[in-house]
Chain A
């Protein structure tokens, strides 16, 4: 059983297009995250939702809009894609439940290439 899944795994698109990435977790976790890992391999947090509430909203262009329809799903929509958006986008989930930050479980990543 896949714990954290993302679709699509690969996404090649042209500048200016709008695209979405979907994420689902079946671990029963209450918190989900979007990370961006660029060519230098540095992992940067973008957003986080806890029980469908936005709790982390880092400095990210407003072309990026997350949406969490329920605790098990977190989607990322990107408008007007730019070359610099090319990266691997990872979804992750964890169980906070009012306690310290527990370990995060990652999806396989979506490799976005903007041409």
Chain B
């Protein structure tokens, strides 16, 4: 089992719809969780950290389910500009390293 797994997609979603995707992680002792966004031919950029109690930033909601070892990202009222690859990132051992998922590609269509 990979340390961090994501559905690669692509998810083709009409503008204005709500879309959600999950990411599973294998190490139950994982400490920190993040969602990054990567546009085509650009660098990854932090979208949001994921807190134990769940957190929201505008149209974006992130949740952590420690029992089932997954994190989720929900995007409401999707915009064309949300089209990107969303990378799930986990810090498994509270050391220096982050483990990156392969990303979920999201395409928002007009």
**A residues bordering B, Cβ < 8 Å?**
31, 40-45, 48, 50, 55-56, 90, 96, 100-101, 103-109
Contact = CB atoms under 8 A, between A and B. Distances in A.
Interface residues of B, number: 20
Contacts, number: 49
The residue among A41, A100, A101, A109 with the most chain B CB atoms within 10 A of its own CB is: A101
A69 B36 CA distance: 29
A101 B103 contact: no
Contact of B102 (A42, A106, A107): A42
Given A40-B102, A106-B43, A100 B94 contact: yes
B97 A56 contact: yes
B78 interface: no
Interface in B91-107: 91, 94-98, 100, 102-103
